[in-house]
Amino acid sequence: MTKLKGLLLTEGMHGMISQVEGLAKALDLNFIHEKIELNNFWKSIPPKLTPISESVYKKINHDDFDVIISCGRKSVIPSIHLKNTVKKKVFNIHIQDPKVDLNHFDFIVAPEHDGIEGQNVISTKGAIHYLTESEINENKDYLNSFIKKDERKIWALIMGGPTKHYEYSSENIKGIFENLSNLNKENNFQLVVIPSMRTPKNIIQYAKEYFNENHTVIENVDKKAYLSALAISEKIVVTCDSSSMISEAALTGKPIYVANISPKKNDKRFQKFRTLFKELNIIRDLGEEVKIWNYQKLDETNRVANIINEKIKT
């Protein structure tokens, strides 16, 4: 059977790419990815006030697709416009709240903490993503040439970066590092620090200086290092700014500690997400008593794909 063709639309950020590609892979699509660019005037205008017109965005040179998967504010209007103008039936799926009439889309995939309701809404526990258990296991040995060869257990620190809600100041990051250092005195683990695309270079350098030669700091964005760290770590620490990476870590079933940073503006949505994950026994706050606990591995991407596939087939 010929695979359906997918067109993925995002603003190019890691969290968005992870979500659209994860769903496309789970739906078994042949897909291409387009980074959306809005024309100057429309860059700061909310989608609900934007006309559904090709004049809003830079031209996309693809017209042969069966499924559109979009994520992010800038991709809302292009997704609706393309669905309305192609000369065949196309399903469009938007990930996150599009902030427009939900009926413009066949499916909305949004986390429970967004509080979106509708007949075409599929609610998820956390963010969907592009990681798979098999991919994590395949990269298990990748960090062997990086880590220190000793008997210590591995803990991973997965770092995001500054956002409009959380500041990566030296003071905030020092608090996280000191917390881990104090825990290490009692638990004697080797820390592997994994940066993301949003992690500032000065913070990576600070981690190298702070943890010195006793631990391992990966200096560049390296997906294989990230996957390997998830595979070999006994415990995983993720900074609070990234719901996506917390959701990705939940695929492992391992204890996850969230390294909190005081918000610089209202972070109610993030708090609701973390409250849900605490209720599911997935996360605890860094600094709580160190324990081993279990939870059901979270694979929302395949669950969502199964629901969509059933509806597409009917």
Which pairs with CB-CB distance under 8 Å and at least 24 residues apart come from 178-183?
179/259, 179/286, 179/287, 180/155, 180/237, 180/259, 180/286, 181/210, 181/211, 183/286, 183/287, 183/290
Do 43 and 164 reside in the same domain of the chain?
no
Give the Å distances, CA to CA, from 106 to 25, 85, 95, 312.
Answer: 19, 15, 11, 10
The CATH number covering residue 104 comes to 3.40.50
Q: In terms of domains, do 159 and 248 share one?
A: yes
What CATH code is carried by the domain that includes residue 203?
3.40.50.2000
**pLDDT digit string, tens, across residues 164-202:** 999 999 999 999 999 999 999 999 999 999 999 999 999
Instruction: Give 5-15 pLDDT, tens digit per residue.
Output: 999 999 998 88
Tell me what pLDDT residue 113 has: 85
What is the domain count for the chain? 2
The tokens for 249 are: 């870590």
Residues 260 and 280 grouped into a single domain: yes
Do 115 and 165 lie in one domain? The reply is no
- pLDDT tier at 212 (50, 70, 90 boundaries)? confident
Q: Coil, strand or helix: which one is 39?
A: coil
pLDDT, residue 99, reads 95
Q: How confident is the model over 73-99, as pLDDT tens digits?
A: 999 999 999 999 998 999 999 999 999
| Position 2 pLDDT exceeds 90 | no
Q: Read out DSSP for 126-143? A: S---S--HHHHHHTTTGG
pLDDT in tens, 19-53: 999 999 999 999 999 999 999 999 999 999 999 99
What is the per-residue pLDDT across 216-247, written as a single tens digit (0 to 9) for each?
A: 999 999 999 999 999 999 999 999 999 999 99
Tell me what pLDDT residue 290 has. Answer: 93
Per the CB < 8 A criterion, the answer to whether 8 and 33 are in contact is yes
Determine contact, residues 280/295, Cβ cutoff 8 Å.
yes
One domain, residues 67 and 140: no
Average pLDDT over residues 127-151: 95
Parent domain of 261: 133-285
> What is the C-alpha separation between 38 and 55, in angstroms, rounded?
9
Confidence at 61, pLDDT banded by 50, 70, 90: confident
Alpha-carbon distance of 82 to 34, in angstroms, equals 13
